Amino acid sequence: MVIKKKYKAFTLLESVISMAIIVTVFAIFSATITNITTGDTGYAQTTVLFQINRIADEVKIAKLYIDEDEVVEDVTYNKSFKKYEGSDNLIQLTITAKTKDDKTIYEHNELIIKSDDKN
């Protein structure tokens, strides 16, 4: 005796609709992930702030007031000094962080006392 076995299966229509939903969801998911990973300005900015802090601290410790550029991870940090108007011993330190395509990410300005004392 031949037993006819019945298999449960999805209809073609069901399968097509399900696949369409899954493809759409995956498309949205990948777009979100791409946005987050490529456009994470937060992470980039934190890194830039960290580097700027480091450069500013080095200037204050070394007491060397020379304009120069430094490149760290494709970001160029331009360090420049100018005398602050109205004060003999005060200088304005500007550190500008720029991308490869010369786009300014962050500009740091600070007034520092140009002296030998430890305060």
Partner 1 sequence: MKKLKLKGGSLTYAVVFSLIVSIFCMTLVLLFYYSSQSVSEYTDVFRAQLNAKSGINLLLSNQQIVGSPEKKTIDLYGNGTDSVELERNYWGAFDLVTATSIQQNYRFGLSALTGLKSISDSGNIAIYLSDLNNPLKIAGETVIKGNCYLPEGTIKAGNMNGESFIGDKLVDGVIRKSSSQGMDFNRDFMGYLIKQFTLDTMKLNSDSVINIDQFPLKDSVVNSFTNRPITIYSKGEIILSNVYLCGKIKVLSELGVIIKSSSQIKDVIIFAPDVEIEDGFTGALQAFATDSISVGEKCNLAYPSVLGVVRTVASKTNSSLKIHENSNFAGEIFGIQETADLAKHVFISLSEDTKVIGRVYSCDLLETKGKVYGSIICNKILYTNSSSVYENHLYKAVIDITKLPDAFVGTSVLKFNSRKGIVKWL
Q: Are 85 and 91 in contact (CB under 8 A)?
A: no
- CB count in 10 Å sphere of residue 90: 14
* Type of residue numbered 68: E
Which residues would be at the binding site for partner 1 (CB under 8 A)?
A: 10-11, 14-15, 17-19, 21-22, 24-26, 28-29, 32-33, 35-36, 40-43, 45-46, 49, 84, 86-90, 92, 106, 108-113, 115, 117-119
Shortest distance, CB of residue 1 to partner 1, whole angstroms? 21
Q: Which is nearer to partner 1, 9 or 66 (CB)?
A: 9
Helix, strand or coil, per DSSP, at residue 116: coil
